[in-house]
Structure 1
Amino acid sequence: MDSRSYQLHTEAVAYLASLRARDCSPNTERAYAGRIALYLNFCLMHRLEWTTPSFLGLAALQQWLIEAPLPSRSSTARPGPLRFRSRSTANAVMTAVAEFLRFGHAHGWVPASTTGLLAEPKLLRFSPPGYDTGESDWRREVQAAAFRFRINEPGYEDLSDEQIRRMIALTTRARDRFLITLLACTGLRIGEALGLHRADMHLLASSRAAGCGTEGPHVHARRRTDNPNRALAKSRFSRSVPVTADLVALYTDYQYERDRVAQAADSEMVFVNLFRPPLGGAMTYPNTKEMFDRLARTTGHACRPHMLRHSAATRWLRDGIDRDVVQRLLGHASPLSMERYRHVNDAEARAAVEHVESLKERP
């Protein structure tokens, strides 16, 4: 959008529409909209043509992203301390800009000279697990993003069992207790959970009467593009995930709570608004974020839906569950996606060393 005329930026709108056409989640579309707006505003401020920003222009954008202070969150007259974007956030913006420019090139808006600036050859010193470098290592040279800060990846955060139990104990609503426990026990993504329909909840010992041959209580995670809350399962493949008797009991508690709200009776969605308008409407991503933010303030530690997914995967792997089983439960198409979930703690590292030491003492 042009900040002087407030006219929609046609090419940016087309790019966001392409994300929607590719079934990207609303969160992805919202994040990319903000990142593209940053780029277009930067071009406007520095009198750059967005289709031909030049190498120096893109380098200046990259530096500006980490040096320009963010707007203050304080509503008082006394502003709080200055905040800045992290390098990882700047990298995410530059990735979105690169994708936008490549999209523009594909449609004839952006010249090849611009997209040629976005990547540079890089020689892989260490290839990822499962990557075939080809005969004579000819595939070691890859195209890497030209505008990207080097950062130490912090890894993925998980929660201890005690932290999860405390989250559940401090939650006063049956719906929210069920949602937290569902994510922690099944490893579902938040989009998969918010996209659940009541027909997906097969919680009897046998669901043959419903035409389902899967034995035992389970839920079906399905990708749907017409959910009223725009919740979207990332995986294109449906899967069933077993659930425990305790989770079934929490779902029953939630149903009692839900039955007290007449507007919720006709909704086919599992998770609905019970405490604020629109009553009976499907819970949305922002609703859920507010709930987890409140919980984080109460517990005193970070609480995010994806942390529960990582916690489930880490717990399964530590308990010796076969990686193929964990991969199926999480709905990953590639085994390489499993690498991110294995968190090694200090106790495990010490146990491994002590195990080696004990071998020396054997006759």
Structure 2
Amino acid sequence: MNLTLQKGIDPNSGETIWLMLNQDYEVVEPIQRYLSFLSGCKSPNTVEAYGYDFKAWWKFLHCKHLNWKNVQLSDLEDFAYWLRVGDTLNVTSLQGAEAKRLERSINRAITAISTFYEYHIASKTVDFKQFERFFMPIGISRTRFLQGIAKSKPMRKKLVKLKEPKSFPGCLNNEQVETLANACKRLRDKLIILMLNDTGMRKGELLGLCHEDVGDFTDNSIKVVQRVNPNGARAKGQERVIPVPSKLLQIYNDYLIYEYPNVESDYIFVNIWEGEVGAPMNPKVLNTMFNRLAKKTGIRVYPHLFRHTYATRLLKAGMSADRVRHLMGHASVQTTLDIYSHVINDGELDEIVKAEEQEN
């Protein structure tokens, strides 16, 4: 079965949406319902990635002559292998074959399929008992992905998951950050470098910043707020307040005085020299800026690298992993531990594990 993932624009909100169409160009209703739900809480890029995972799942079901409402845990395991080695189904082991996809990519697909069924369980499209074996109860979740749709239930751990090789993308040192900032001829670009370095924000969170999110010199902080932005930027993580140095606020003020265009705009980072002046910067413009800086300085740099730099700096300075989790906007401290375990001392790691075991 060949499905098509089609990009579109919501005429009411102007936001990017994704449509899943079958060979007759009809909407695939069970997938589309979930994609529409995701559009309200995930970035367009995440929704797109999940859409391709659903295409693969539907193709797998078609090859095995399965109905999406009647699958077993073993089918999910076979799907993981199918993704790993390609379109062959006469398999029983996850070992001994050349990988076609990385473990991380396969685990994302499994997450997409698992939450797809979790959504339909909450919506009562399918029977909970039919799919509860997809998960293992391990405690009560404080914040749930489907909060507002389903009542609070025991948090569930995926039973199908490939072990991913641990790799840390690295981070920048102070000299490299200074080199990148000095290479910027424009205050806006320099502010972007220093803002990412001093806050650890995601790219979407940065481009969604409004003037009202920045405190004054008596309140050295910046708020990360979830809102609908015309440039498609989205705050993926939790809303939070991040303390910042007063020097950063001074550069922000200089930017407003000497470079910000004479237009009314709620957004901090806007078009000044190209495009619609005063419109919020598009993520593609930010990517172009970083590509230019990388060529100019010889430093391999991209926005997310500052996020790793920020977290590593805080952890090495002795800040607790739970506090870093909050500042980074991670939903769970486990995410912080998984990414930055190389800079968290064993004693604190043991304490966190014990605390989570007691909660559960």
Quick check: 1:103 aligned with 2:139?
no
Q: Do the aligned partners of 2:315 and 2:321 also contact (CA within 8 Å) in 1? A: yes
**How many pairs align?**
302
CA distance in 1, matches of 2:58, 2:328: 37
Match of 1:187 in 2: 200
1:55-74 to 2 correspondences below 5 Å: 55-68=73-86
CA 1:49/1:296 → structure 2, altered by over 3 Å: closer, same or farther?
Answer: farther
1:77-156 to 2 correspondences below 5 Å: 84-112=100-128, 115-119=131-135, 144-155=157-168
Match of 1:361 in 2: none
Quick check: 1:174 aligned with 2:187?
yes
CA 1:6/1:114 → structure 2, altered by over 3 Å: closer, same or farther?
Answer: farther
What is the CA-CA distance between 1:5 and the residue it aligns to? Answer: 1.5
Match of 1:17 in 2: 36
CA 1:282/1:58 → structure 2, altered by over 3 Å: closer, same or farther?
Answer: same
Cα offsets for 1:51-81 (capped at 9, x unmatched): 3344554333212322349xxxxxxxxxxxx
CA distance in 2, matches of 1:171, 1:45: 53
Q: Do the aligned partners of 1:157 and 1:310 also contact (CA within 8 Å) in 2? A: yes
Match of 2:48 in 1: 30
Quick check: 1:270 aligned with 2:268?
yes
TM-score, normalised by the number of residues in structure 2: 0.68
Match of 2:24 in 1: 5
What is the CA-CA distance between 1:312 and the residue it aligns to? Answer: 1.6
Q: Structure 2 stretches of 5 or more lacking a match? A: 1-19, 88-97, 139-154, 346-360
Report the residue type matching 1:100 in the other structure.
F
The SS at the match of 2:259 is: helix
CA distance in 2, matches of 1:293, 1:121: 45
Q: Do the aligned partners of 1:183 and 1:193 also contact (CA within 8 Å) in 2? A: yes
Which of these two proteins has the greater Rg computed from alpha carbons?
A: 1
What is the CA-CA distance between 1:288 and the residue it aligns to? Answer: 3.1
What is the CA-CA distance between 1:154 and the residue it aligns to? Answer: 1.9
Cα offsets for 1:113-171 (capped at 9, x unmatched): 6524523589xxxxxxxxxxxxxxxxxxx964232212233246322223323333444
What is the CA-CA distance between 1:234 and the residue it aligns to? Answer: 4.3
What is the CA-CA distance between 1:86 and the residue it aligns to? Answer: 0.7
Q: What is the root-mean-square deviation in Å for CA atoms of aligned residues?
A: 3.9
The SS at the match of 2:243 is: strand
Match of 2:4 in 1: none
Report the residue type matching 1:93 in the other structure.
A
The SS at the match of 1:258 is: coil
CA 1:63/1:290 → structure 2, altered by over 3 Å: closer, same or farther?
Answer: farther
The SS at the match of 1:281 is: coil
CA 1:238/1:312 → structure 2, altered by over 3 Å: closer, same or farther?
Answer: closer
CA distance in 1, matches of 2:309, 2:285: 22
CA distance in 2, matches of 1:320, 1:18: 39
Q: Structure 1 stretches of 5 or more lacking a match? A: 70-81, 123-141, 206-214, 349-363
